[in-house]
Amino acid sequence: MKEISTDVKNILGLQLPTDPRWVDLAGLEMEEILTDHAYCEQKAATTCISLITKNPEKELLVEELSPIVTEEWGHFRMVIAELKKRNLKLGKQRKDVYVNSLLQFQKK
Residue pLDDT, tens place only, 61-103: 999 999 999 999 999 999 999 999 999 999 999 887 777 787 7
Q: Who's near 80: CB < 8 A, 6+ residues apart?
A: 38, 90
In terms of pLDDT, which residue wins out, 28 or 15?
28
Q: What is the largest CA-CA distance in the chain?
A: 51
State the fold for domain 29-107.
Ferritin (1.20.1260)
Percent of the chain at pLDDT exceeding 70: 89
Answer yes or no: is pLDDT of 13 > 90. Answer: no
Mean pLDDT of 43-68: 97
SS3 106: helix
pLDDT at res. 96: 77
Residues 80 and 38 sit within 8 Å (Cβ to Cβ): yes
Question: Where do the domains of the chain lie?
Answer: 29-107
pLDDT at res. 10: 60
Q: Which amino acid is at 44?
A: A
From the list 50, 46, 72, the residue with the least C-alpha distance to 61 is 50
Q: Report the chain's mean pLDDT, rounded to a whole number.
A: 87
